Amino acid sequence: MVQGYTGRFAPSPTGPLHAGSLVAALASWLDARAVGGTWLVRIEDVDTPRCLPGMDALILQQLAACGLQPDAPPTYQSHRSPLYQQALDQLVASGWAYPCACSRKEIEVACAAQGQVRSRNAELVYPGTCRSGLHGRPARAWRLRTDKFKENRPLAHIPPTSVAINLIVNGILTWNDRLLGPQQQNLAAEVGDFVLRRADGLWAYQLAVVVDDAARGITHVVRGQDLADNTPRQIWLQQALGLPTPQYLHTPLVLGPNGEKLSKQNGAQALDLAQPLAALNAAAGVLGLPAAGGDVASALAQWVVQWNS
Residue 208 CB, nearest approach to Zn ion (Å): 21
Q: Binding of Zn ion at residue 32 (CB under 5 A)?
A: no
Residue 101 CB, nearest approach to Zn ion (Å): 5
Which residues have CB under 8 Å from 264's CB, separation 6+?
14, 15, 16, 18
Q: Binding of Zn ion at residue 130 (CB under 5 A)?
A: yes
Binding residues for Zn ion, rule CB under 5 A, total 4
How far is residue 219's CA from residue 252's CA, in Å, rounded to a whole number?
Answer: 21
Choose one: 12-20, 59-67, 99-107, 164-172; the region binding Zn ion (CB under 5 A).
99-107
In eight-state DSSP terms, residue 117 is -
Binding mask 141-170 for Zn ion (x = CB under 5 A): ------------------------------
Q: Binding of Zn ion at residue 125 (CB under 5 A)?
A: no
Residue 187 CB, nearest approach to Zn ion (Å): 17
Q: Binding of Zn ion at residue 196 (CB under 5 A)?
A: no
Which of 82, 63, 73, 97 is CA-nearest to residue 300? 63
Return the number of the residue (192 or 276) whose C-beta is nearest Zn ion. Answer: 192
Residue 166 CB, nearest approach to Zn ion (Å): 29
In eight-state DSSP terms, residue 248 is E
Q: Binding of Zn ion at residue 129 (CB under 5 A)?
A: yes
User: Which contacts (CB < 8 Å, 24+ apart) does range 18-21 have?
Assistant: 18/262, 18/263, 18/264, 18/268, 18/269, 18/270, 18/271, 19/254, 19/262, 19/268, 19/269, 19/271, 19/279, 19/282, 19/283, 20/224, 20/253, 20/254, 20/261, 20/262, 20/263, 20/268, 21/224
Q: Binding of Zn ion at residue 68 (CB under 5 A)?
A: no
Residue 55 CB, nearest approach to Zn ion (Å): 34
Return the number of the residue (26 or 100) whose C-beta is nearest Zn ion. Answer: 100
Q: Pick from 23, 102, 211, 286: which binds Zn ion (CB under 5 A)? A: 102
Which of 4, 7, 13, 3 is CA-nearest to residue 26? 7
Residue 2 CB, nearest approach to Zn ion (Å): 43
Q: Binding of Zn ion at residue 111 (CB under 5 A)?
A: no
Q: Binding of Zn ion at residue 100 (CB under 5 A)?
A: yes
For the CA atoms of the chain, what is the radius of gyration? 20
Q: List residues near Zn ion by CB under 5 A.
A: 100, 102, 129-130
